[in-house]
Every structure is written in structure tokens, then in C-alpha cells.
Structure 1
């Protein structure tokens, strides 16, 4: 957009921000006193929420931003913040002309840490420039570095994803049991995404087995009942033996299981 903002003594400009959560929910807000519809999303008036500060630089240093707000709007609740529904969500902040609806994004990033204090919250935003600080060069490892059914693995995620129905819930051991076509052993190390219930949309990792039940990495402190549906993705221990025997995918194995380790450096020759 070629518009120059704040070029006139009087402008009809408001701030907007958009939140795309990892569970597929998108929320839009604006500092205008009325709701605004643009970019395919209704941005609701939320004068209690304001970007505290936005710093942009021309270099490679990550830009910083922060959003402060009140937990007053129906779209943002203390329970959702505590459940981590906003962790890692994508955020865009910009300006909008509330008469012509011309708009432009001035910041894009993800939500990092969220702090909560009674009826208010503060979200620290991480700029996309932060990706430039990541080292893209892979390191050698005996196990596969690729994400299961992700880039480099080559297997279809749909093939190893199943829908299950909750049959038992054990809040003491943080374990759940499902009626599914996949066995618990196949699901170990995989992912569970709730489709119904108080955790709908939230993904959890299956870290252990308790008999036929699945132990999850996040606490289950809300009431749950049998019959709730979830999407279950099988897991992989990232070893060459499993990749070859269970999945028949050794050709795409991203690891070096036969590469000598650091202990080779301290070895010394022995007389024959």
C-alpha cells in the first residue's frame, strides 16, 4: 500500500491486531469505538487492549513488541490464557482507516510469554526476524532429525492419524484411554489433539503408557467424560530399526547411526 499514514493534521486512523491461534481460531480487535470488517475478519472494538510498544529496526536484530489488555472481551478469557491456547499464536498489528478501511500491517510475529495479573494480561511478541537467528545447518545424530510425517520424513500424516473416542480418564496419573484403531504402543511419542470437550483444539504429546492408557505431557485438571473425540497421531522413536521395520522408510532416514562418536578421539591403539 502506498498510503502515507499521519500525513494530515486530522486522520481517521485506528490500530488493529489479528491473532491466529494454533487451534485454528482467528480473532481480530481494533481500538476504534466500533467493530470493523476487513481482510475477511471482523475486528471487534476492544479499547481496553493496546499495543504497549513496537520497535522496528532496519538491521537483522529481532523487532520487539508487547500487547497489554484487559480480560474483559468474551473472546479472551482467563481459562484460555491459562490453558495455553494463545501460546505460539501468530500476531499481526497494523493501522486501519475506519472510514475507507484501508489497512496496513506494521508488525508480524508470534506470542511468546503471557503473564496474567487478576483481570489483565500482558503478551510479549516475538518478531519473525527471530527466525534469522536460528542455525539451519543440521547436526549429525544417531537418531533421525526429521519430524515424523514432516519435512524430510516423506510419510503421509493422514495414514498414521486416527480418530478415537475417550473411554476412561484418570486425572491422578494424567492418563486417558481411547477406543481407536491404533494400539497404545503405536501412539507412544505421538500427538493427541482434542476435538471436543474443555480442551478442544489443544494438542498434547503422549509421553508414556500406563497399561492401555496414554499419559499426556499437559495436566488434565478439567472435568471430562467418556465419549469425547480426539485425533490421535502415531509416534516414532526416530531410530533406524523402527524406521526400517515398522515404516519401511529407511531410505528417508535423516540420521547417522553408524558414524563414530566423540569417544573415538580418546581411543588409542593397542598392540596386536
Structure 2
């Protein structure tokens, strides 16, 4: 912030905003609402997107900082495809107030993540969520029969990459939300149901989708997704299929032999037992 306060106090200012956006896959890009490119901290900030932001609401307490970003969808900036594919969901965002005549004079104005993104014709509107928004997430555990761990995470403890539980195969054809593989060997029908399909290469590399149904039919394996992957998936695209877990104690014990790490309460009484009342009559 060297000299920035003096610049603000001088009466005549040359200010703009600069944005650094880092997606979950690590891609870092810079944008600015100035009419010329800026560069600092090793980031080039481009003006082509026409991005702007409403007034940033910030407080000294724990209430979430909020704002909204507005920008144009274009091939050189934020694209329609990456919005549809969800590649910007939860992207890390930093916003500076910058003296464009001397970018060394700047102040970090906002740090947080992108929230909900909405389309508005050829524009997009993105909610900005400050770091304090993380404090609004519910914590703790819920008493329930089914496991509350994410399959393959540290609490689950199961290595999902083990042979037989993760398979990588070339795609034969994609029809909407159904993926066809010319592969009938390996696990039985339903093995990958409630698992996930991950795209390894091609235009959709890095994208994934939950699997609704997995079955063998007509000499092929058909994998039906809950929603289509928003990317071109030409024949030959390599996909990784991860076995599904329905969170039941029986599945944890019989399919994965991982019952010692089961994170549910398998013997919790059901609602029928809780609503039962004594009745008179014969034994």
C-alpha cells in the first residue's frame, strides 16, 4: 500500500479495480475494469471482460461480506462453457483497488470465493462471498443409520484407487447423460451405481458427475449419470469410473470390507420403533 493513501488524499485519483480469479483446477487469470491491461504480482490483468462490481458490503463482525460481480461472456474472458461446466464454482477471488498510473500503489479490497453464478443474456452475475462466509457452514455430525463420510476420504479410510474399485476405459459413445463403454468384463451390473465418472482427457478433462445407474446390456456397459457432463465427449475419451457406495452398513462390510471405519449408527432404532406404544392383550 506504499503511497496509496497519499494518492487517495491528493484529491485527483486514477483508480480502477483488478481481479485475480483462481479456479479449483489451479488456472489463474486476471481482469480489470480499466481500459488498459495492468500487471503486478506476476499476474496480467486484462480489460476485455468489462467486469465490474457493486459496492462491497463489509463489516467488522462475523457477518458474511457480500457483493456481486457483473461481466460479459466472451471467448477471451469468462466463457459460457466454463460456467455451464461448473469450473468457476467456488473459485478463489481477490480484488484490489489500484492506481492504474502506478500499480505499485494498491490495496487488497476483497478476498473470498465466487458463489452463485447466473446468466443474464450475454452477461453473467456472480455472487461474491467473503472469507467469513465459511463460518456459516453447519458443523458437527448427524445421528443417522447411514455413513456420513465421503467415500474414499480420510474418515472413510478406504483406498478407492484399488484395482476393481476404479476402472479407466475409453468411451465408445455418449448420448446425453448415458455413457457407453464397449467393455463387459470386470464388476457386475450396479457396481458403479452411486459412484462417479471422471473425465481424464479431452475438452472435458477434470470434470466429473455422479453415476445414477450402471448396467451391462447388448454387449456393453451403460453408465447413466444424474446429469450430463457439460462438455464434448468424443469417442475414445478416457474416463475413470469409481465404485459407488450407498452408505449402508451392509455395503461397507460386504462390498468394501471396511466396516471398522463405518461412520454411521447402524443399530439406531427406526421411526417405527420410536413411535411404538404399549398395548394390552395377550403375550
Matched position secondary structure for 1:18: strand
1:264 to 2:273 alignment? yes
1:18 to 2:20 alignment? yes
Q: Which residue of 2 aligns with 1:149?
A: 152
Give unmatched runs, 5+ long, in structure 1.
Answer: none
Give unmatched runs, 5+ long, in structure 2.
Answer: none
- Cα distance in structure 2, aligned partners of 1:236 and 1:69: 40
TM-score (ref. length: structure 1): 0.84
Residues 25-65 of structure 1 deviation map (CA, whole Å, 9 limit, x = unaligned):
32221234443444443332346111222111112221111
Change (3 A) 1:197 1:57: same
Q: Which residue of 2 aligns with 1:236?
A: 245
Contact 2:178 2:228 in 1 (8 A): no
- Cα distance in structure 1, aligned partners of 2:222 and 2:55: 47
The runs of at least 4 aligned residues of structure 1 exceeding 4 Å deviation read 1-5, 10-13, 179-182, 220-223
Contact 2:24 2:91 in 1 (8 A): yes
1:123 to 2:126 alignment? yes
Matched position secondary structure for 2:54: strand
- Cα distance in structure 2, aligned partners of 1:55 and 1:121: 20
Change (3 A) 1:100 1:117: closer
Q: Which residue of 1 aligns with 2:257?
A: 248
- Cα distance in structure 1, aligned partners of 2:31 and 2:74: 13
Aligned ranges for residues 167-186 of structure 1 at < 5 Å?
A: 167-171=172-176, 174-178=177-181, 183=187, 185-186=190-191
Q: Which residue of 2 aligns with 1:133?
A: 136
1:61 equivalent among 60, 63, 86: 63
Bigger Cα displacement from structure 2, 119-128 vs 32-41: 32-41
Residues 129-158 of structure 1 deviation map (CA, whole Å, 9 limit, x = unaligned):
222222212111111000001141122344
Contact 2:204 2:232 in 1 (8 A): no
Contact 1:53 1:67 in 2 (8 A): no
Give the CA RMSD over aligned residues: 2.9
Bigger Cα displacement from structure 2, 234-243 vs 37-46: 37-46
Residues 137-180 of structure 1 deviation map (CA, whole Å, 9 limit, x = unaligned):
21111110000011411223443544321122223xx2102367
Change (3 A) 1:222 1:250: closer
1:225 equivalent among 230, 234, 244: 234
Change (3 A) 1:255 1:123: same
1:209 to 2:206 alignment? no
Aligned ranges for residues 2-17 of structure 1 at < 5 Å?
A: 5=5, 6-11=8-13, 13-17=15-19
1:166 to 2:171 alignment? yes
Q: Which residue of 1 aligns with 2:78?
A: 76
Contact 2:192 2:213 in 1 (8 A): no
**1:232, distance to aligned residue in structure 2 (A):** 2.8
